[in-house]
Amino acid sequence: MKIHFLGTCHGCQEKNRYLTCMVLEVNDAYYLIDAGAPFRYIMMNKDMPVEKFKAGFITHMHGDHAIHAYDFAVGCGHVLYLPEPEDIKSMEDLIYFMHCEWAYERFGKCAIKCVADGKFYQDENIQVTSIPTKHLARGKSFGYMIEAEGKRVLFTGDLSGTFEDYPKITEECDFDAVICELTHFEVETAMPKFNRTRTKQMIFNHIRDDKVALLKEHEQELTVPYSLTNDGDVFEI
C-alpha cells in the first residue's frame, strides 16, 4: 500500500503546496482521498494513468478538499462518494452548468453516491469505514478508516478547533499509520490524544507552518513517531 501526497496545504494557499489531495495505491489501483489539488494533471505528469482510479472519497465539501471532485466525476473513476445527499444533486448541477454532461456520459457516468455510516465501501482491494467528525458548522464531515493488504490506515480529515472529534477508534484499534491534519486545533491540546494513539506512525498533512513550529517545539512530549508531508511525498505502509 502506498499513499501519494499530491497536495498538503490547508485552505489558505501557501508556497509550493497544492491544496489537500491524497491517492492511495493498492494492487495497481488508485483511490482518491480528497480533491483539493489538480490530481489528474499531477498524475499524468508522473505517468500514473488516471484510468486506474476505482473510487474517490471526499471528507467534506470545503473547496480545499473538494474543488477538483468535479474532474473525478466527469473523467475518471467508477464511483465518487460525497458526504451528504444534497451534494450529489449539486455535483450533477455543476456538471450540467459546465456543459460537460457529454463527458459525464462518454466516460462511463461515474456513480455519485453518499457516504453512509460505518463500513460503506468494499471491493477486491480495500474496505472503507466512515468516522463522523465535527469540522463543519453546517453539513457533515468525515474521517476514513481504510483496510487493505492486511494494513489499517486512518485519514482523520479536518477536525474541530477543540479536537474533541479526534477519532476515539485511535485508542481502540491498532493502526499502521494515522494521517492527521495539522491546522485547526491547538497542538498542546492534541498531545495527550496523540500519545494514546495506537499507531506505528503519525503522518501530518494539511500543513500550516505555524502549527509545524508548535509541533516541533513540543515534539519531546510526543511518544509516537511522526512525519510531516510535502507535495510529492510517497509513503509505503
Domain boundaries, the chain: 2-236
**Residue 187 in this model has a pLDDT that exceeds 70:** yes
**Residue 107 in this model has a pLDDT that exceeds 70:** no
Q: How far apart are CA 129 and CA 145, in angstroms?
A: 5
**Which architecture does CATH list for 2-236?**
4-Layer Sandwich (3.60)
What pLDDT score was predicted for residue 13? 85
Query: Across residues 205-219, what is the average pLDDT?
Result: 94
DSSP secondary structure letters along 104-135: HHHTT--EEEE--SEEEEE-SSEEEEEEEE--
pLDDT tens across 41-78, in order? 999 999 999 889 999 999 999 999 999 999 999 887 68
Q: Global pTM?
A: 0.96
pLDDT tens across 150-178, in order? 999 999 999 999 999 999 999 999 999 99
Mean pLDDT score of the chain: 95
Q: How far apart are CA 74 and CA 76, in angstroms?
A: 6
